[in-house]
Chain A
Amino acid sequence: MLAQRAAWEGPRWTRAVKPNPAISLQRSEGGEMKIGVVVFPGSNCDHDCQHVFKDVLGQYVEMIWHKETLLAGLDAIVLPGGFSYGDYLRTGAIARFSPVMGAVKEFAKSGGMVLGICNGFQILLEAGLLPGAMLRNKSLYFICKDVFVKVETAATAFTGAYESGQVLKIPIAHADGNYYTDPVTLAAMQANAQIVLRYCTPEGKVMPEANPNGSLDNIAGIINPEGNVLGMMPHPERCAEVMLGNEDGKLIFLSMLEALKGNKKQLKMVGT
């Protein structure tokens, strides 16, 4: 992994952005993680994710066009939000057959961290990397607003920097976020603490009134049993820096980096 990182010379595919010196100054010293952000035709939150990891958190980011089939040397992968393939047929239904998804599945199977946000979550469901499916929002509206979610467990690689029970103000922007799964799978997820984020009131009460889209059990985000694949409908990348007036989502990304550092330490210990 480390050797591959040294050989990496820069993003293969990226939008030309003028560097902002004020942001560059905030870069942390240890920009040692290499995060892959997958770009599907129709992704539109890819650059927001890139910005958070690269400019806010000072890590390497590689934009991965969906035609890629090799994901060498990456520490984590993000499937960003958007409208891949125009949401045709079903959200995420066509993106899951993109060439890159075979490699994403392999990466996840080998224990690699995969974060799916909004459309990324929908793609993870269609790909079978997470259980369940998305239905149209109960109201039939596309909902774009700040909501409140409760971090049900901080004992995951994606929420380790939060406190269990912490309430986050975080935006959602979707028409198909009404999570559904069969009762057996739901019970198993509840028993395994796989429901990581749930819609709640500003005070942290999980109740039907706080559910924006009709999602089963107020589910806003779930994790796989192995703990390395998380899908969430809210957009943490849209509230990850002071300039935007809300930093509640930043710790999702920081948690990932902390977990990755921990993994590396473990790997080093095993190697020595």
Chain B
Amino acid sequence: MKAKIHVTLKQGILDPQGKAIEHALDSLGFKNAGNVRVGKYMEVDVNETDKAKADAAVKSMCEKLLANTIIEEYRYELQ
């Protein structure tokens, strides 16, 4: 199965990259753009056929390594 994982900074934690992009969008005339958050997107092939097992594995990967849960949150989908 393939896991598609998104890791972003938690809401409320300053995202300096997001702010810089927001300012750039604003100066390009996109006055309707706001609250830009930058994150990471990862794809992982998980060698499991059982969805529950794959889910548990990906959750563990996120908790242990892929996200730092002090500052980041993660979400993923399995296909």
Q: Do A and B bind each other?
A: yes
Q: B37-59 toward A: CB 8 Å interface, digit per residue (1/0)?
A: 00010000000000000000000
Residues of A within 8 A of B13 (CB): 135, 180
Residues of A within 8 A of B14 (CB): 135, 138, 178, 214
Chain B residue with the shortest CB-CB distance to A91: B68
A252 beta carbon closer than 8 Å to chain B: no
A242 beta carbon closer than 8 Å to chain B: no
Q: Kindly provide the distance from the CB of A29 to the nearest chain B CB, expressed in whole angstroms.
A: 45
* In contact, B70 and A182 (Cβ under 8 angstroms): yes
* In contact, A89 and B66 (Cβ under 8 angstroms): yes
* In contact, B68 and A138 (Cβ under 8 angstroms): no
A3 beta carbon closer than 8 Å to chain B: no
Once the chains are docked, how many angstroms separate the CA of A138 from the CA of B20?
A: 10
Once the chains are docked, how many angstroms separate the CA of A94 from the CA of B40?
A: 16
Q: A130-166 toward B: CB 8 Å interface, digit per residue (1/0)?
A: 0011011111100000000000000000000000000
Q: Which of B16, B65, B66, B70 contacts A136 (CB 8 A)?
A: B16
Chain B residue with the shortest CB-CB distance to A90: B68
Once the chains are docked, how many angstroms separate the CA of A135 from the CA of B9?
A: 9
Q: B3-20 toward A: CB 8 Å interface, digit per residue (1/0)?
A: 000000100011011001
Residues of B within 8 A of A214 (CB): 14, 16
A126 beta carbon closer than 8 Å to chain B: yes
Residues of B within 8 A of A259 (CB): none
* In contact, A136 and B68 (Cβ under 8 angstroms): no
Which residues on A are within 8 Å of B, measured CB to CB?
89-90, 93-94, 97, 126, 132-133, 135-140, 178, 180-182, 214
Chain B residue with the shortest CB-CB distance to A139: B16
Residues of A within 8 A of B20 (CB): 140
* In contact, A97 and B65 (Cβ under 8 angstroms): yes
Residues of B within 8 A of A181 (CB): 70
Residues of B within 8 A of A133 (CB): 68, 70-71
Q: How many residues of B are counted as interface, with CB atoms below 8 angstroms from the partner's CB atoms?
A: 12
Residues of B within 8 A of A136 (CB): 16-17
* In contact, A138 and B65 (Cβ under 8 angstroms): no
Once the chains are docked, how many angstroms separate the CA of A97 from the CA of B61?
A: 13
16 examples of A-B residue contacts, CB within 8 angstroms: A89-B66, A90-B68, A93-B65, A93-B68, A97-B65, A126-B68, A133-B68, A133-B71, A135-B9, A136-B16, A138-B14, A140-B20, A180-B13, A180-B70, A182-B70, A214-B16
Q: Which of A89, A94, A135, A140 contacts B71 (CB 8 A)?
A: A135
Once the chains are docked, how many angstroms separate the CA of A133 from the CA of B65?
A: 14
Q: Which of A89, A132, A137, A140 contacts B70 (CB 8 A)?
A: A132
Beyond contacts A126-B68, A138-B16, A140-B20: 20 other A-B pairs, Cβ-Cβ < 8 A, are A89-B40, A89-B65, A97-B65, A132-B70, A133-B68, A133-B70, A133-B71, A135-B9, A136-B16, A136-B17, A139-B16, A140-B16, A140-B17, A178-B14, A178-B16, A180-B13, A180-B70, A182-B70, A214-B14, A214-B16
Chain B residue with the shortest CB-CB distance to A132: B70
* In contact, B16 and A137 (Cβ under 8 angstroms): yes
Residues of A within 8 A of B66 (CB): 89
Once the chains are docked, how many angstroms separate the CA of A231 from the CA of B71?
A: 19
* In contact, A135 and B16 (Cβ under 8 angstroms): yes
Interchain residue pairs A-B with the least CB separation, the first 9: A133-B70, A133-B71, A136-B16, A140-B16, A133-B68, A138-B16, A90-B68, A180-B71, A140-B20
